[in-house]
């Protein structure tokens, strides 16, 4: 059930009702309320109104967007987005190939039928708290299934990725007929902007079960064109194993991974560096994400290096990690997952000790001890001290001859 509607929101709904309209809470806010999840975004639909009535009844509201009227209204310290009820019909290809109609005669049922999934096609009257569920969304919530509202689902290719993302976000399955509609849309996926696709992908990575995103696309034969790199059976199994190991190890980590860290882990499932690079290029991945993925694909150091050489590599790696935004703990966690180390990130706890010690080595301290140093000579002295510190910590861990006990 939804939380009690605020006084400010009821006041807006009352003004609309007095002019002959009705205001409804719709979309994900209704779905999440039924699931007992905290509200993130709230969407509202106004029935029985047109843009002229909005201007007269809510003169403080201002229109945003181009494809259909959405109005923003500030009240009581919050900003509400109000959309007029609308009809849509396919008029071209791609995500934007629709003609939109709106006006006083458009009903709530007509508005809801154009939505993607039944779990997103429910509404609650803001004034009366009366619930509307014309397409069985509540039953689908109980069954934990994603089902298209109507055949109109197959007119918008973005819904392929939205549905896969909801599968990950809600831990729901996609019912077979809807999966078949997703498959029929694969020919239009190239019409989507990479930015829109990446946005859905990024949201899926933030969920508790990102594997469901890939699984839903795989079941619908919709990994191509954007996620074809994960289509090989061996790659998919590696991805499955990595994410399963991550879910177990994260409990011991006791902190959520950043978006770039999760992305880097997903890319570890790609065996070839060229595949990882091509995926980043195609998806226009942010540079910091690409750097994080590259660093995590590389082992910390090679087995045949001396202790001094290993210490040099560790100092360089820590510096690069800090520049790309990854924490040392995230790096330790993902490397442990990738290498199948039973101790998890604690096997790399010494790396955190090195990083903390390096931060305490400051140029002014080195200059105070040797005032004659400056320029490149000072830089070399600072680096030598950092490597020496790393060697000391690693020597305790590995032995002074550089032989490795663990890793």
Q: Please report which confidence band the pLDDT of residue 2 belongs to, taking 50, 70 and 90 as the band edges.
A: very low
| 3 has pLDDT over 50 | no
Phi and psi dihedrals of 81, rounded to 5?
Answer: -105, 120
Quickly tell me which residue has 């079960």 as its tokens.
209
Residue 280 host element (H or E):
helix 273-283
Each residue's pLDDT tens digit, 66-77: 666 789 998 877
pLDDT winner (highest mean) among 3-12, 19-28, 345-354: 19-28
- Specify the pLDDT at position 403: 46
Instruction: Give the tokens for residue 9.
Output: 């929101």
Q: How many Å apart are CA 279 and CA 214, to the nearest integer?
A: 15
DSSP for 28-42, please give it: HHHHHHHHTPPP---
Please give the C-alpha separations between residue 72 and each of 44, 59, 62, 80, 122, in angstroms, as whole numbers.
Answer: 11, 11, 5, 6, 22
- Specify the pLDDT at position 342: 80
User: Which residues are within 8 A (CB) of 11 and not within 5 positions of it... i.e. 6 or more apart?
Assistant: 75
- End-to-end CA distance of the chain: give it in Å, rounded: 51
Quickly tell me which residue has 């997903």 as its tokens.
266
- Specify the pLDDT at position 101: 84
- Maximum pairwise Cα distance, the chain: 84
- Specify the pLDDT at position 299: 85
Each residue's pLDDT tens digit, 328-365: 999 999 999 988 888 888 889 899 999 999 999 988 98
CB under 8 A, 24+ apart: contacts of 33-37: 33/1, 33/2, 33/3, 34/1, 34/122, 34/138, 34/141, 35/141, 35/170
- Specify the pLDDT at position 4: 43
- Specify the pLDDT at position 77: 79
Instruction: Give the tokens for residue 38.
Output: 């905290």
Q: Please report which confidence band the pLDDT of residue 21 belongs to, taking 50, 70 and 90 as the band edges.
A: very high
Find the angle CA(338)-CA(341)-CA(344) to the nearest 5 degrees.
Answer: 90
User: Taking the C-alpha atoms of 267, 202, 192 and 173 in order, what is their torsion angle to the nearest 10 degrees?
Assistant: 90
Least confident of 25-39, 86-100, 187-201: 86-100
Q: How many Å apart are CA 227 and CA 294, to the nearest integer?
A: 19
- Specify the pLDDT at position 98: 54
Q: Please report which confidence band the pLDDT of residue 93 belongs to, taking 50, 70 and 90 as the band edges.
A: low
DSSP for 301-350, please give it: S-TT--HHHHHHHHHHHHHHHHHHT--HHHHHHHHHHHHT-TTGGGGGHH
Each residue's pLDDT tens digit, 108-161: 999 999 899 999 999 999 999 999 999 999 999 999 999 999 999 998 999 999
Least confident of 184-188, 226-230, 396-400: 396-400
Q: How many Å apart are CA 300 and CA 316, to the nearest integer?
A: 10
Rounded mean pLDDT, 277-304 = 92
More confident position, 82 or 93: 82
């Amino acid at each position: 059930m939804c939380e009690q509607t605020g006084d400010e929101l009821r006041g807006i709904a009352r003004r609309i009702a007095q002019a002959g309209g009705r205001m409804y809470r719709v979309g994900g806010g209704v779905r999440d309320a039924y699931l007992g999840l905290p509200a993130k975004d709230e969407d509202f639909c106004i029935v029985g109104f047109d843009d002229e009535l909005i201007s007269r009844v809510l003169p403080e509201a201002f229109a945003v967007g181009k494809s259909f009227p959405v109005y923003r209204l500030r009240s009581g310290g919050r900003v509400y987005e109000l959309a007029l009820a609308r009809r849509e019909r396919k008029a071209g290809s791609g995500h934007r190939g629709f003609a939109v109609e709106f006006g006083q005669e458009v009903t709530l049922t007509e508005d809801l039928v154009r939505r993607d999934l039944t779990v997103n096609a429910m509404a609650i009257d803001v004034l009366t708290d009366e619930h509307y569920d014309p397409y069985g969304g509540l039953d689908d919530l109980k069954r934990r299934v994603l089902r298209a509202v109507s055949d109109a689902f197959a007119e918008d290719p973005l819904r392929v990725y939205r549905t896969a993302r909801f599968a990950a976000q809600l831990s729901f399955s996609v019912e077979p007929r809807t999966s078949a509609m997703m498959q029929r849309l694969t020919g239009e996926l190239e019409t989507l902007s990479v930015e829109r696709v990446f946005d859905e992908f990024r949201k899926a990575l933030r969920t508790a079960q990102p594997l469901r995103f890939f699984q839903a696309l795989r079941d619908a034969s919709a990994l191509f064109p954007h996620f074809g790199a994960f289509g090989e059976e061996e790659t998919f199994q590696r991805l499955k194993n990595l994410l399963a190991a991550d879910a177990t190890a994260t409990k011991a980590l006791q902190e959520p991974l950043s978006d770039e860290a999760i992305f880097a882990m997903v890319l570890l499932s790609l065996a070839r560096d060229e595949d990882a690079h091509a995926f980043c290029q195609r998806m226009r991945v942010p540079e910091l994400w690409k750097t994080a993925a590259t660093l995590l694909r590389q082992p910390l150091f090679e087995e045949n290096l001396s202790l001094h050489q290993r210490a040099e590599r560790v100092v360089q790696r820590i510096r690069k990690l800090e520049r790309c935004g990854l924490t040392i703990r995230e790096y330790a966690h993902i490397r442990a997952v990738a290498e199948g180390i039973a101790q998890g990130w604690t096997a790399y706890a010494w790396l955190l000790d090195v990083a903390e010690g390096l931060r305490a080595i400051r140029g002014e301290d080195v200059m105070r001890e040797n005032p004659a140093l400056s320029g490149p000579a000072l830089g070399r002295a600072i680096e030598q001290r950092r490597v020496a510190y790393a060697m000391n910590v690693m020597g305790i861990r590995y032995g002074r001859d550089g032989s490795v006990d663990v890793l």
